[in-house]
Chain A
Amino acid sequence: MTAGDEPRAAGYGTEDLLRELAPQVLGVLMRRYGGLDSCEDAVQEALLDAAGQWPASGRPDNPRGWLLTVATRRLTDMLRSDSARRRREDASYLATPPAVLAGADAWLADGATPGSDDTLTLLFLCCHPALTPSSQVALTLRAVGGLSTAEIARAFGVPEATMAQRISRAKQQVRVAGARFERPAAADLGDRMRVVQQVLYLVFNEGYSASAGDGLQRADLSAEAIRLTRLLRRLLPDDAESAGLLALMLLSDARRAARVAPDGALVPLVEQDRARWDSALIAEGAALITRTLASTAALGPYQLQAAIAAVHDEAPSLADTDWAEILALYQLLARVSPGPMVSLGRAVAIAMVHGPAAGLAATDELAEPLRRHHRLHAVRGHLHEMAGNRAAAAADYARAAGYATNAAEKRYLMRQLERVR
């Protein structure tokens, strides 16, 4: 599929089009000229030119061709001034532009379908294992997501100069790691896919865990993660975990409006007003995960988490929640992807099925690994409260509030503490 023949949602504007075309144009430049740093800068320049010119002059007939031509010109300008700076001896660079432009025209003329393959290759490159997670996230948002450095910096609450440094550093590391613009070898594909999925999930959570204050701009990150995961899924329709990841995002995002109180405090799932959940997102996410589970060859953590989210989302009320089903899914999840946070989720399900005492007993093994994590203490507080032990609940809520690293969660836990004290 190309950018031209997909159905467009209402309100699909120039910015959406530019962000969709950005990785395609970058992919072509990378394939032709290599060098992530200069190619990516050139595409950003071309995007800025388009954003500046198109509103006045009208969108060109062939937006992709326009962007590719301008980006190519920007790239040759850059290479030329670079080489001029280095040493004014390389006359061949100076002779390059017409040939390069002819190359771009040829690409346009030969009707090559702009590569979904290129976009996927680019995604793998941005999520290169040599990079730290924050660098992978920043680079992915810029090179594949087409966001500007300023937008990314704002979303992460760091100065623009810091984000620019982080992105340029990431590009440098990609080069040092000797990464090439090609698909990972078949043997590495599984591992590399996991990194890509992890990066997209990080972006989603970055937008999702934020409180109300900057809701709008942070919510954009979740929307961006969903957009990129839809893209990933379109590129690899048979990958069950990518489908699971998308379903998980949709089913979580459906609860967004009910998740934060007007004062920014977190509203836990059990107290949320279900009328405020987005039924369209729930329907889409639930259908996707149901379809995926029916045919999956490899059950993975995203599919199972999505399945758990679907059980919650489809219950008309808290009392109607099928906790036995959730517990069964947690048992599977603990087998596929064991970890203290999964055990904690399972402990809650155990409490809902077998009572708070059984749930509390299940958290005992987590006392050490999650000692400094607010979630363990919040869950234990809740279970003590369920068991009618207010004093123990208060002590746990106080501990949880002390370890919280998110203002919205801290506000919520302080309120729990006041309530039981």
Chain B
Amino acid sequence: MKYMLIIYGNQELWSSIDPEEFGKEIAAFDAFNKKYYDSGELLGAYGVADAAATRLVRVTDGQPAVTDGPYLETKEYLASWYLIDVDSEQRALEIAADCPSAKFRPLEVWPILHEASRETGVDIGVV
């Protein structure tokens, strides 16, 4: 079963951590990543740029238009996500609890429902 673990945050939160602690936190994240890559359960770990760097793309009358945004009203937004493949929901929750940031902010644990086949592009209906 695959799950996405999502961490929300904002620039303010990261800036509030003092530099020495920040180094320790990064090391803790590195160790977390290594631990679950080694167990074969972590498929990928990603972090996004600040919301100010995002763009919106929409197609109107066949013409793509690119603008700044989204202008988020929420204070916290998507910061990082992990894709894991585990034996049970219980295991997904354990890994989420082991994430170094879980002591600051809750992680969201989303079961993955749809996945496109690499070969055919068709939804393989993750089991």
Residues of chain A whose beta carbon lies under 8 Å from any beta carbon of chain B: 132-135, 154, 156-159, 162-163, 165-167, 169, 205-206, 209-214, 217-218, 264, 404-410
Contacts and interface: CB of A to CB of B under 8 A. Distances in A.
B108 interface: no
Nearest to B88: A133
A43 B86 CA distance: 28
Contact of A211 (B2, B37, B41, B123): B123
Contacts, number: 80
Given A165-B38, A210-B127, A213-B125, A405 B85 contact: no
Interface of B: 1-2, 37-43, 85-87, 91, 111, 113-115, 117-120, 122-127
A196 B49 CA distance: 47
A205 B1 CA distance: 13
Given A134-B86, A162-B85, A166-B40, A211 B113 contact: no
A211 B125 contact: yes
B40 A210 contact: no
Contacts of A134: 40, 85-87
B1 A405 contact: yes
What 7 pairs between A and B have smallest CB-CB spacing? Answer: A166-B40, A407-B125, A213-B122, A211-B125, A165-B40, A214-B124, A209-B127
Nearest to A206: B127
A133 B127 contact: no
Contact of A169 (B40, B118, B123): B40
A157 B126 contact: yes
A162 B43 contact: yes
Contacts of A211: 123-125
A212 B115 CA distance: 13
Of the listed residues A169, A217, A407, A408, the one surrounded by the most CB atoms of chain B closer than 10 A to its CB is: A407
Nearest to B114: A407
A162 B40 contact: yes
Contact of A213 (B2, B38, B120): B120
19 contacts: A132-B91, A134-B40, A135-B40, A154-B118, A157-B2, A157-B126, A158-B85, A162-B42, A165-B39, A169-B39, A211-B123, A211-B125, A212-B122, A213-B117, A214-B122, A218-B124, A264-B125, A407-B113, A407-B123
Contacts of A408: 125
B43 A132 contact: no
B120 to A, nearest CB: 6
B55 to A, nearest CB: 28
A214 B117 contact: yes
B94 to A, nearest CB: 12
A294 to B, nearest CB: 35
Given A134-B86, A158-B85, A405-B111, A214 B119 contact: yes
Nearest to B122: A213
B123 A213 contact: yes
